Structure 1
Amino acid sequence: MTSKSHSERDCVESVRTTLDWLDDHDWAGPSDESFDAAFALLADQRRRLLLTVMRTYGEELTLPDAAEEVAVRETGHNVTNISAERVQEVYLSLYHDHLPRLVDAGLLEYDQERDLVAPDGI
């Protein structure tokens, strides 16, 4: 028998916690497809961080400000210690990949003219 790494134990615990939560809430309504779609949206750390940022602020933010905040949470560093290139990379991935998925799902709103992201029911 091999011992599990810390991250493997965390993963197992997260799965158990999620399954317990689902059992406790007697989910008769949502289909398996909706759960699959929800888990797919949450599968990417950067999308989870963006959703967390938007929930934390609870109001619209410019996408550059949201990208800075996501970069801070990804790196654990103060924004002054993160390169402009890193923030730009986060911004571009949010703009081209993650934000459209979250907007299409109805979790966020985006005003492209003003470059503003707003929570939508999160």
Structure 2
Amino acid sequence: MDKGVANPDLDTIYEHLSESRRRYVLYYFLESGHANVEEIALQISAWEQDVSIGSVSVDEKEAVTLSLIHKHLPRLADHEIITYDQRSGDIVIGDNFDSVRPTVTRARESEQIDPVVRHPTESVLHSDPLTEPTDNE
């Protein structure tokens, strides 16, 4: 698959939707233009277990986080549906998100999952690059 695909074809869209965790990432972005991987992992864990955010175990959230980082986010980023900064964990809607939005919206309506619960994160979206401390610091 080529990076920078202008508009994912229908097969590619349905391939992304075939995996629940990728669907849930896309559902999240129907309501928000940006997030952090930890924030999304917490919400996905709650959706998968059908519990509140506060009831999600640390182990479950960590398992979801790892699968997002190693499998699902890179696949979505390869098609520019999202943009993922591995260093900070920040995720934003990619250039091709709008081309999949109608299909994702219909899928979400059919699953009838709870709305996204927004909560503060410690991430700074699009922060300055890390720099080495100077002698003056």
- TM-score band, normalised by shorter chain: 0.5 to 0.7
CA distance in 1, matches of 2:25, 2:36: 12
Give the TM-score, by structure 1 length.
0.68
1:46 is aligned to 2:27: no
* From 37, 47, 51, the counterpart of 1:73: 47
Structure 2 residue aligned with 1:12: none
The equivalent residue for 1:110 is 84
Per residue, is there more helix in 1 or in 2? 1
TM-score by length of 2: 0.61
When the two chains are superposed, the root-mean-square deviation of aligned CA atoms in Å is: 1.7
Q: Which residue identity lines up with residue 62 of structure 2 in the other structure?
A: Q
Q: Which runs of 4+ in 1 moved over 2 A?
A: none
In structure 1, distance between residues paired with 2:17 and 2:54: 28
Kindly, what percent of the aligned residue pairs are identical? 27
Number of equivalent positions: 90
Indicate the SS of the match to 1:112: coil
More RCO (CA 8 Å, sep 6+): 2
Contact (CA 8 Å) 1:55, 1:119: kept in 2 or not?
A: no
Q: 1:103 offset after TM fit, Å? A: 0.4
Larger Cα Rg: Structure 1 or Structure 2? 1
Equivalent positions of 1:75-114 (< 5 A) are 75-114=49-88
- 1:17-57 per-residue CA deviation (whole Å, 9 max, x = no partner) reads xxxxxxxxxxxxx8xx9222221111011100111012212
Structure 1 gaps, min length 5: 1-29
- Structure 2 residue ranges without an equivalent (≥5): 1-6, 99-137
1:109 and 1:55 map into 2 onto residues whose CA distance is 15
Alpha-carbon deviations, 1:41-95, whole Å to 9, x = none? 110111001110122122x211101110111112221122111000000000000
